[in-house]
Amino acid sequence: QQPVQSPQAVILREGEDAVINCSSSKALYSVHWYRQKHGEAPIFLMILLKGGEQKGHDKISASFNEKKQQSSLYLTASQLSYSGTYFCGTRASYGGSQGNLIFGKGTKLSVKP
Amino acid sequence: DGGITQSPKYLFRKEGQNVTLSCEQNLNHDAMYWYRQDPGQGLRLIYYSQIVNDFQKGDIAEGYSVSREKKESFPLTVTSAQKNPTAFYLCASSKVAGRRETQYFGPGTRLLVL
């Protein structure tokens, strides 16, 4: 039931791109992306709803493939400030209702100068 | 400034002791949540509440208790029945707003066992 994130960790040089994937075995209602710095609160990045939408926020964007129950987070031209652990949270669809938000184990992103 | 506050930042528990973690929000959010975070495990839901005087168990409620007497407050008690309480505890809140309901997190409390 917990979504699976890949890769578990990635190391980048400043300016490089990265993709983080989130897959679920359940039919999804929405996907939420967060970034967390060590010892701090997770910060909300974006939410994607079923319907296959794609969203963007500065140089961070995401897509949601409803048919495959997958979401991908794209980080382009990475900056040092992008370092942290990225979590996806998924909300499953049960007929006309939705389940609780369930989080993946996270992807640790390290951006080096 | 609107936000979620958690206290204390660090908490130490002795064997057999109950301890209470505070969570307050002034965002006028309806729903509040407690998560536990262990290294490499992501966030796991302990309890949640969508309205005052009502709350539901999450995935790992055993050894924990909550109350929701006021809309802005959702304290979590870690009881002596919780045998492995060392973790980072995060409180979150959300406005129940249909499809775009988004949870916002407090700064967390780190609980350590003496």
SS3 for A26-76 is CCEEEEEEEEECCCCCCEEEEEEECCCCEEEECCEEEEEECCCCEEEEEEC
Other CB atoms closer than 10 Å to residue A23's CB: what's the count? 18
For residues B22 and B70, what is the distance between their CA atoms, to the nearest angstrom?
13
Contact: A41, B90; criterion CB under 8 Å: yes
Contact: A101, B103; criterion CB under 8 Å: yes
> Closest residue of A to B58, CA-based?
A100
Contact: B107, A41; criterion CB under 8 Å: yes
Contact: A40, B43; criterion CB under 8 Å: no
Express each pLDDT in A40-84 by its tens digit. 999 999 999 877 666 666 789 999 988 889 999 999 999 999 999
Query: Which of B43, B48, B99 is opposite residue A103, by nearest beta carbon?
Result: B43
Q: Which of B59, B90, B103 to mutate to test the interface with A (most CBs of A within 10 A)?
A: B103
B100 by DSSP, 3-state: which?
helix
pLDDT in tens, chain B (114 residues): 679 999 999 999 888 899 999 999 999 999 999 999 998 888 999 999 999 999 999 999 999 999 999 999 999 999 998 889 999 999 999 987 666 788 999 999 999 988
> Closest residue of A to B108, CA-based?
A41
